[in-house]
Structure 1
Amino acid sequence: MSKGPAMNAVPRLRALRLVAPALLLALVASPAGAAPPPENVATTGGGPGAVVEWNEIAGDVALAACLAPAADPPHEARMYAMMHLAVHDALNTIDRRYERYVPGRGTEPDASPEAAVAAAARAVLVAVAGQVLDPIGPDCAAAGVDVAEQAYAERIGAVPDGRAKSAGIAVGEAAAATMLALRADDGAPTTLLDPSYPQGTEPGQWRFTPGFDVAALPGWGQVRPFLMTRELSYPRAYRPYPLTSRRYATDVDEVQRLGGDGTTTPSARTPEQTQVALFWVESSPLQWNRVARTLAQDARLDLWESARMFALLDVALSDAYVDAFRVKYELKFWRPVTAIREAETDGNPATTADPTWTPLVVTPPIPDQYSGHAAEGAAAVEVLRRVLGTDRLAFSTCSLTLSEGQRCDDPTPVLRSYERLSQASAENGESRILVGFHFRHAVDDGLAAGTVIGRDTVQGALRPLHRAQGPR
């Protein structure tokens, strides 16, 4: 994986910098980023333009609403999934090429696809961004709504007036209204930060991580998934390993050597590994949708194909968070920062306590097992691999959580380049060890769980109808 020059796929970013409130941003202790503008792509029905454009606008909205670049990725993923499912269903009301997420019989063959995409996306984004929860606050919600409204005004104004435009708006708004009604009682308005959540006291049991007196999103595992209807058929690996085991000692040693901040705690990380660690701190929904935009354009997907791909991608990302948080708060296994500082209590002679050990980035106040970030990457890659028909897809991408001067919104951003999708997913998982967040056991389980979620998502919804062509 290498650095490279800026490519056309890297968005030109606005000067506007949007900073999340300190409390929520500290949830993953990431730098604040700038909202990227929509790429200058065509919006004809023959290309992915309008769908790709609104995908990037959704990222702008998430940044403005203080959900990104890493403050609240579960809510961010849910917003993207809702938007893209509404867009997918709107397009398949105009021309039915794939199964709709919400079944329906009506068709509007004369409606403008571009108007339908814009109307569906805008309605979902405005509604969801406007419901951003405290303590993120109303200012962030209003900023997110403003980004969506401004983008809509510009894009709907470019669609020629007439019956096709009016019909397209109606189709898009109807699809959005259906989606919003369907998700109105899904459990997403759950407690963001819970100071009363019970902590463990025994070795191996999760307790508030240093710097926090809260548990983050302890109820997210009860949010209704978009597609998952059962627990994954992978329960055995969800069991934490014994603290006295050799594997546990090996994992503790690995994080202890590689995950330190390099200041308070010495670290054996190389400069390349430090870049990897910080690069992937960015929220998974923001990063993997950026990658998917590049791949959609490279593959020359049309509007319908790209709408389906993004819908499947974001459903998998959202459902992976639900499963990860369910498992985390069922197992409640301690984080490396706690395990290393309190290693004298674990009963394992092969571990060594360091009471001042400090990770590269402040550990989020969420239990360890399994890594949601690793699951997100694996789920994304499995969806993209299955939709596009191959793992061998070369791409480069940037990040908003590197040091200033290296981010997507800087004149010469650092890019990391990959020859395969799975290469990026593996590096994403590895980053959670290098940043000091997770044990390898949690990363491995996350990769396995995410792969299953991605597979089940593609197999379970939005399947091609007889008119759809090719492997997609």
Structure 2
Amino acid sequence: MRQDITNPPLAARFFAYSMLAGYETLAQSDSSLMPLHGRLRDYPRIPRPAGQCQAPQLAALFAMLHTAGQLQPSGSGLAAAAAALTDSCRNAGIPAAVVAQARARGQLVATAILAYARQDGYNRISNYPRYTPTAGPGYWSPTPPAFFGAVEPYFNRVRPFVLDSAAQFRPPAPVAFDSRPGSGFAALMREVYQTSCTLTPAQRATAAFWDCNPFALRENGHLRIGLKKMSPGAHWMAIASIACRQRKAPFAHTLQVHTVLAVVLTDAFMCCWDEKYRSNRIRPETAIRRYLDPTWQPILQTPPFPEYLSGHSVISTAAAEVLTHYFGPTYAYTDTSERAFGLPDRRFSSFRQAAAEAAISRLYGGIHFRDAITQGQDQGRQVGQLALRVLFTPVTNPR
């Protein structure tokens, strides 16, 4: 996904369908995995071949690779990963017939999941009118350095997994725009400005650690180089992997954690994006340069979509609810996921502490106002808690 510079909502969607393929493949051989038919919206019954799968974990890996390979623009590159997996099996002495059966079963399930994905409405988004920013003061407009157009303005029209609709947890309206001194909005604007002027080294480090901006660029004269950072959802998927490795969780449990998390991240992005393009609110960078200080710059590059709600706040809080469900409220871990980007590890006493830090990092970074952060946390908590209820209570009304 980094190679494709996949935007945050779409990356979560890719994670969700890829994980579902692996999950459903393994569930055919592992009764500890709860059935998802009737829990996820419009979810099909997955075909189940006759006979016992000789290598169900291997089949699950093939299913994920095949699904991801079909969804991602650069997915053809995953064929090499599948070939490497096949070679490693041969080198380990696994009979070729067992590998072939696992691959066939994985592809069968992947085909069903891909058909489900094609029905979620995302492939119709390209037919919608090109998004035009709302004209007038107080509304979002593209920001430096690249002035990218708005990302995924119609993501709220994609079929959710557990939500009734993307508008299910519609937040209160943002503080009304009013640039006059003494207004509520002017106070929010000044808070971002003053915070940026007094940042401590610890606050700068926090902002950098949670940046997770796949659109970030490094400028060198007239040359702009994409940094290809991971998305915020990918960061939380990495945290899930860290937690599972630390606990030495079995394969089935690890697969379930990642699948549920990916599903919740996708719905959380839908909820957040629904509000972003309803309120279409101006970013701090635009507002502060226009009304306070024309030379001001945030320490983070502003992502290319409206300000309210804070996506990090929504999806991080939702993710923390999921991981707390699995690992408990005091599960401490060290986040090593940013090493590839030259950032030091960070230690957290809980997932909720990490989510709170991710949320406030957007104020430190100068890219969100306070109300977008706090209301985003509320929405994320609602999404996460709803998902856990839907997924872990007996099915009475199939979805």
Which residue identity is paired with 1:103? Answer: R
SS at 2:176 equivalent: coil
| Matched-pair identity in % | 27
The aligned residue for residue 442 of structure 1 is 372
Matches within 5 A, 1:368-379: 368-379=307-318
Which residue identity is paired with 2:251? Answer: L
Cα distance in 2 between the residues matched to 1:255 and 1:195: 34
Which residue identity is paired with 1:217? Answer: E
1:387 equivalent in alignment to 2:326: yes
Q: 2:272 pairs with 324, 328, 337, which one?
A: 324
SS at 2:143 equivalent: coil
Matches within 5 A, 1:174-189: 174-189=108-123
Question: 1:236–1:216: structure 2 CA closer, same or farther, 3 Å change rule?
Answer: closer
Q: 2:24 pairs with 76, 89, 92, which one?
A: 89
SS at 1:215 equivalent: coil
Measured against aligned partners, the alpha-carbon deviations of 1:385-404 in whole angstroms (never above 9, x if no partner) come to 1122x11111111354xxxx
Once the two structures are TM-superposed, the CA of residue 108 in structure 1 deviates from its matched residue by: 4.9
CA contact (8 A) 2:20 2:259 kept: yes
The aligned residue for residue 103 of structure 1 is 45
Name the stretch that deviates more: 169-178 or 327-336.
Answer: 169-178
* RMSD across aligned positions (CA): 2.7
Once the two structures are TM-superposed, the CA of residue 312 in structure 1 deviates from its matched residue by: 0.5
CA contact (8 A) 1:115 1:159 kept: no
1:117 equivalent in alignment to 2:55: no
Instruction: Name structure 2 gaps, 5 residues minimum.
Output: 37-43, 213-230
SS at 1:444 equivalent: helix
Matches within 5 A, 1:308-457: 308-343=256-291, 353-388=292-327, 390-400=328-338, 407-408=339-340, 414-457=344-387
Cα distance in 2 between the residues matched to 1:221 and 1:298: 35
Question: 1:441–1:185: structure 2 CA closer, same or farther, 3 Å change rule?
Answer: same
Cα distance in 2 between the residues matched to 1:362 and 1:163: 51
Once the two structures are TM-superposed, the CA of residue 159 in structure 1 deviates from its matched residue by: 6.7
CA contact (8 A) 1:91 1:116 kept: yes
* TM-score, structure 2 as length reference: 0.82
CA contact (8 A) 1:328 1:367 kept: yes
Cα distance in 1 between the residues matched to 2:307 and 2:341: 31
Matched residues, number? 363
Question: 1:359–1:309: structure 2 CA closer, same or farther, 3 Å change rule?
Answer: same
CA contact (8 A) 2:166 2:270 kept: no
Cα distance in 2 between the residues matched to 1:464 and 1:392: 27
The aligned residue for residue 22 of structure 1 is none
Once the two structures are TM-superposed, the CA of residue 65 in structure 1 deviates from its matched residue by: 3.5
Matches within 5 A, 1:230-249: 230-231=165-166, 234-237=169-172, 239-244=173-178, 247-249=184-186
1:75 equivalent in alignment to 2:23: no
1:152 equivalent in alignment to 2:152: no
Once the two structures are TM-superposed, the CA of residue 270 in structure 1 deviates from its matched residue by: 0.9
Cα distance in 1 between the residues matched to 2:141 and 2:301: 15
The aligned residue for residue 139 of structure 2 is 205
CA contact (8 A) 1:115 1:156 kept: no
CA contact (8 A) 1:328 1:370 kept: yes
Which residue identity is paired with 2:333? Answer: F
Once the two structures are TM-superposed, the CA of residue 315 in structure 1 deviates from its matched residue by: 0.6
Instruction: Name structure 1 gaps, 5 residues minimum.
Output: 1-61, 133-139, 260-266, 344-352, 401-406, 466-472
Which residue identity is paired with 2:334? Answer: S
Greater per-residue helix proportion: 2
